[in-house]
Chains A and B, each alone.
Chain A
Amino acid sequence: MTDFRYVGKDDSVFNTQDKAAGAALYACDLHLPRMLQMKLILSPVAHGKVRSVDASEAEKVPGVAAILTWQDVPQTKYNRGRVRASEEIPDQETIFTDHVRFVGDRIGAVLAETKEAAEEAASLIKLDIEEYPAYLSPQQVLAGTKVPIHETDQVIVPEVVAFGDYEAEKGEELQLLSSSERTTHIAMEPHCAVASYHPASKSMEVWTATQSVFGARSAVATLFGLDMQKVRVYKSPMGGSFGCKQEMILEPLVAAASIATGRPVKLELSRAEVMMCTVLRHPIGVLTRGKFDEDLRLKGVRLDILLDAGAYQTISPDYCLSMAKKINWTYDMQSAEVHSASVCTNTPVSGSYRGWGGPELCFVMENFMNMAARRYGVDPIELRKKNVLPPWSVTKVLNFNLGSLPFAEVMGKGSALFGWEEKRKLYAEQGHRCDKDGTPDPNGRYLRGVGMAICTHTSGYFPRRPDWGTLSMKMEEDGSVSVNVNIHDHGCGSVMAFQKIAGEVLCMDPGKIAIPEGDTLYNAIDNGCYTSRSVFVLGRAVMETAKELKEQILDYAEKLLETPKEELVCEDSRVFPAADPDKSLSYSDIAYYAADKAHGALFVTHTYEPASNVGPVSADFAEVEVDTYTGHCRLTDFACVHDIGKAINPEVCRSQIGSAVQNGAGMVFCEQIRIDPKTGAIQNTSMERYHVVRAAELPNVKVEFLEDESADGPFGAKSIGEAALVPVVPAILAALNDALGSGFSAVPVTPDKVLSFLESAGKEAAR
């Protein structure tokens, strides 16, 4: 492995100290002169027609500046998931609506001088709503809607993704229905956006914690007929996203309100509003069918995916396809068919979530493989070894090379790191019963079991759509560097990663490299922070641009030091001949020379276009303990190996995995947005009622990185942020099933389900 100066070394993200001190400023901290506070008026019913809005009492609240409804803003339909205006996806949503489609749908908003006044006024609005029948599940919608939720695109059946002939495959067919419930992202920072419209110039400024300033710009410009160059969107510091801030949810609302009032407007949501009216992870049901031959080789699979899109389709049809197109990224099979349907219901909007279909598909396929391993009585690793793709395979969907695919290595190292064979042997010989500390005890109150899962993920858009990274980089006279790149740090350290990449190439302290975040006025157009492309695509673009800047530095140094540049060495912001280190120039010397004597700027622009999309491979191993008295489950051990190519900032990469384990454990054990079957309202809109797994409940997560530095990412890096989550849920679920001897394939497996299973199993055993 190459020994780097900055890359591969642990560093805190750039604003950690500010965050720890409470000094970091977010969009909610922004105060503009004359700014109004916005409070949404949300539908209390799941489906209906607003007959009237009585704002007479609300208008009396001191400080109320305006009360807007659907009648006061454009009724243009749009899709919050549209990043580029040219995307052809269904338009169903409007800024405000009188046809409310879920509890939390936006009818209007109050604008007031203070947040308190806005909230008080909103609470005094009287709504007269004719209620329609509410359809709270895809099954209800597919059975027929007396009053349609949407006139068009209520149900979308995306193209079938297929290769080979599944029906013609020979072998025993196994079936498994896997499902997961809607969850919320729990980014620590609730959604907030500020807009300021300038009527004289017909220009707009928007500050928002988004994953795509260009997406927000396009949405605002097209909705309100503004020139794109007159809509400037700034990416504000972000307190986490996990996908919840990648769609254009708040930006159109604050822009509409700012245009309507002629004043700057801020909208800051509460935790309950984030849960109700932003975006949730899809509830999903997938019937998996697969055929194995006598040697337990997977011949083919057929998936039937049913996705609950919530009240508006937004990105859901594409989500189906995102799952479908990954069908051949892990297992080598002759045939596959993926059928899917995205169905609108009268429930909160489903949408983007960390991994964008990758974790969902992995959940389905790995559940299926674990079920098959149980059925055939083979070690889950052995079953996978027979079936994983060989290195450098070309996927049969989209036809591109997936890279080194080191499945055998990640499973082998992961197995050793976790103690897979020892644990399996222990449970096989002494049973799963144990006491609280895990000591085998045939009469123990607890059960323990182990499980594993593997995956491949993505590192960018290639070849699904054109991808690139265009940026500029300049050196200031003091030798510091500024980078103009469309970066959106979620709080997970991509700015720091880019600083390290540039610092490594330029041989200078990364702290002297400024990388301000997304700003549509200055950045070149970009695809945004999606599909784990930041480091792989933009990071590589930073690397290539830094190389060009370094060339400029060396061109001047060659002249000044009278030494061929091949013989020059850069170190700590200085250049010197390898043979004579004392004869050196600082970068500052060169920058001043360029400006004073050579009439030149140290400035480069570069466009990098990826020609590959390597699949980062990983294997996760979990041990779960079940309390047979209470049904409580907890993760007692976890180990994983990630084929990361090169960890730019290992500590942050390990943190990504730690958060993913917490995230996935929550999905298996407890996380679930509960919808009242009578009203369609969310029953648990607070963290008191929405349970997550706490960090203190997690074991020490053991992580190992496989670093072959072979990929096209910067220094060989592949993606990690989304990939970290992909196999977590099926690995933990498999461990839970191993402990219980159960076949759960629907998550979350809450304590009541565990106790019901144990009671049924007990009755069964007693027969």
Chain B
Amino acid sequence: MIFTVPKTLEELQSALANRSERFVFAAGCTDILPKKLGKPWEVDEIIDLTHVPQLQAMGVGPQTGDYFIGACCTHAQVAADPEVRRHYTALAQACEQIGSVQIRNRGTIGGNVANGSPAADTLPCLMALGAEIEWIDGVCIKGFWLPAPQTPSAGSGTVVSAFAKLGDRDIVTIARISLAVRSVLRGGRYTNTSVVVGAASQQPFFCDEAAAVLDGSQPGEVDREAFTGALANAIEASIPNRPTMPYKRSAVRGPAFDVLDKLASF
């Protein structure tokens, strides 16, 4: 087996161009190691992504003001980043709840997305925040671009966001339902709201009905029952025949109230 360790973007591009047919990326390894433990890897090459500086970068882009988060930034780094905490709060909140301290110190945001778990905590946040992926040669995530906080659509408003999840326990837990909400506070009311439901079904999805409940509402006066009801209906529609549906439909009330509390705390 070949273990390739590119140190620059160019080396990574070269490695991708010459990659073996059966290869795997390695970054934090918090998903792949448990999966492969004691089993044959069945790959010919491991490409280590953790030594390429551009994949570990975080910062404002030169022209648009969009914010870049490199794929190999760890959850702990993302959660601690002042800009993310201020402008992309939902993502910071998600990253500080992922797994355990050890997982957060090793696991990367790119890995969380690329692993493709329906329960990935960062996915609904990235979707709600309108993130875009920057690819390298179409196979490797370089990083994520989050829209600048002051966008034309935000106008003079303030972008607020929040994340909440429900697992089988309060900590070190895999989400059964996760919720990410992004909205623009303008004139004391929520506008342009996005609500994404994660983990409940195979893929995260936008819930426009729940977003509509928030739009036009003041933070302290959201119709919480209507918001919860919209989410419950969406979950039921997404997994109508799953045995877990009745529980998830009912229990979404917990993260729904939590996410509204967090959103209102701005």
Residues on A lying within 8 angstroms of B by beta carbon are: 115-116, 119-120, 270, 445, 627, 629-632, 634, 670, 688, 691, 693-694, 696-697, 751-752, 755-756, 759
Contacts and interface: CB of A to CB of B under 8 A. Distances in A.
A120 B169 contact: no
B152 interface: no
Contact of A629 (B39, B246, B254): B254
Given A116-B40, A120-B40, A445-B257, A691 B250 contact: no
Nearest to B39: A119
A629 B253 contact: yes
B166 A630 contact: yes
A679 B179 CA distance: 35
Interface in B232-266: 244, 246-247, 250-251, 253-255, 257
A61 to B, nearest CB: 12
A693 B247 contact: no
A755 B247 contact: yes
B170 interface: yes
Interface string B130-171: 000000000000000000000000000000000000101111
B164 to A, nearest CB: 11
Contact of A755 (B168, B251, B255): B251
Given A632-B170, A697-B171, 16 more contacts: A115-B38, A119-B39, A270-B38, A630-B166, A630-B251, A631-B251, A632-B254, A634-B170, A670-B169, A694-B169, A694-B171, A751-B168, A752-B246, A752-B247, A755-B247, A755-B250
A120 B38 CA distance: 11
A627 B174 CA distance: 18
Contacts of A627: 254
B226 interface: no
Contacts of A120: 40
A115 B38 CA distance: 9
Interface centre among A270, A445, A630, A670 (most CB of B within 10 A): A630
18 contacts: A116-B40, A627-B254, A629-B253, A629-B257, A630-B166, A630-B251, A630-B254, A631-B251, A632-B254, A691-B169, A694-B171, A697-B170, A697-B171, A751-B247, A751-B251, A752-B244, A755-B251, A759-B250
A670 B247 CA distance: 15
B168 to A, nearest CB: 5
B33 interface: no
Nearest to B257: A629
B79 to A, nearest CB: 18
A647 B155 CA distance: 69
Contacts of A629: 251, 253-254, 257
3 smallest CB-CB distances across A and B, nearest first, come from: A630-B254, A629-B254, A752-B247
A694 B255 CA distance: 21
B169 A697 contact: yes
Interface centre among A115, A629, A632, A752 (most CB of B within 10 A): A629
Nearest to B246: A752
B247 A696 contact: no
A627 B255 CA distance: 11
A694 B38 contact: no
A269 to B, nearest CB: 11
Contacts of A751: 168, 247, 251
Contacts of B170: 632, 634, 697
Nearest to B256: A629
A691 B168 contact: yes
B172 interface: yes
Contacts of B171: 694, 696-697
A411 to B, nearest CB: 31
B174 A688 contact: yes
B112 to A, nearest CB: 16
Nearest to B166: A630
Contacts of B40: 116, 120
Nearest to B253: A629
Nearest to B251: A630
Contacts of A755: 247, 250-251
Contacts of B251: 629-631, 751-752, 755
Nearest to B243: A752
Contact of A670 (B168, B246, B250): B168
Interface in B45-101: none
A696 to B, nearest CB: 6
A632 B176 CA distance: 13
Contacts of B166: 630, 632
A445 B39 CA distance: 46
Interface centre among B171, B174, B251 (most CB of A within 10 A): B251
B57 to A, nearest CB: 32
Contacts of B38: 115, 119, 270
Contacts of A632: 166, 169-170, 254
A708 to B, nearest CB: 40
A629 B246 CA distance: 13
A630 B171 CA distance: 14
Contacts of A752: 244, 246-247, 251
Contacts of A688: 174
Contacts of A116: 40
A459 B52 CA distance: 62
Nearest to B170: A697
